[in-house]
Chain A
Amino acid sequence: QVQIEESGPRLVKPSGTLSLTCTVSGGSLSSTQWWSWVRQSPGKGLEWIGEMYSGGDPSYNPSLTSRVTISVDKSKSQLSLNMSSVTAADTAVYYCASASGYAKFDNWGQGVLVTVSS
């Protein structure tokens, strides 16, 4: 099974940009799947951030679209997330997941906790 691992700074200052990388091993980002970011604020539920289909344009949560960019580097088997103008409300565990259908998240990374604080 494909292994998914998220990485990036664990602490981001308010008004700064959150940048995370999702590295896929044992598989390829070129396969016919969607690659998504999902987050979970402490003690809260899951929130879909956005996704990218191999070779296609990204889709974003309408509530986050003005601040989020998702991109893919197929040569490195990496998916990236950039979220600008962060606030404490963006503190969450960020998950990278592969999906074989709309909202069908088959395989998840372990997640990374990102804290927004000065």
Chain B
Amino acid sequence: QSVLTQPPSASGTPGQRVIISCSGSRSNVGSNYVYWYQQVPGTAPKLLIYKNNQRPSGVPDRFSGSKSGTSASLAISGLRSEDEADYYCAAWDDSRSAVFGGGTQLTVL
């Protein structure tokens, strides 16, 4: 049972916009930054979004993040086949630990 809650799956067709949600509590999402990671099966996770809505260099602007209260979301616009991967949200918890969501498997139809 993960501390942050994500839908287990999401899907979309090429060119569509997909949104993945992440729900937490006041002690994590509600009071700390949210991060998003992309993991292609068989590879290590990659930082996709940091500090709620910032993109590391090299991440396309098709990816965007937002946060409101104890919930956050990752939006992917102009969906492409290479976006098919697992997506995880993460945050620091005030109990002094990093917590992750259970992951969302994105399928590009």
List residues of chain A with CB under 8 Å of any chain B CB: 36, 38, 45-48, 51, 59-62, 95, 101-106, 108-111
Can you pick out 8 interface pairs between chain A and chain B where the beta carbons lie within 8 Å of each other?
Answer: A95-B45, A103-B35, A103-B92, A103-B99, A105-B90, A108-B45, A108-B46, A109-B44
Q: How far is the CA of A61 from the CA of B37 in the complex (A)?
A: 19
**Interface SS of chain A:** strand
With an 8 A cutoff between CB atoms, is B70 at the interface?
A: no
Report the tally of A-B residue pairs with Cβ distances under 8 A: 62
Given A46-B45, A61-B97, 19 more A-B residue pairs with CB atoms under 8 Å apart are: A45-B2, A45-B88, A46-B100, A46-B103, A48-B100, A62-B95, A101-B33, A102-B92, A103-B90, A103-B92, A103-B98, A103-B99, A104-B33, A104-B35, A104-B51, A105-B47, A108-B45, A109-B44, A110-B43
CB closest chain-A residue, reference B90? A103
Chain B residues near A110: list those with CB within 8 A: 43-44
A102 touches B32 (CB 8 A): yes
Q: Which of B32, B45, B51, B95 contacts A105 (CB 8 A)?
A: B45
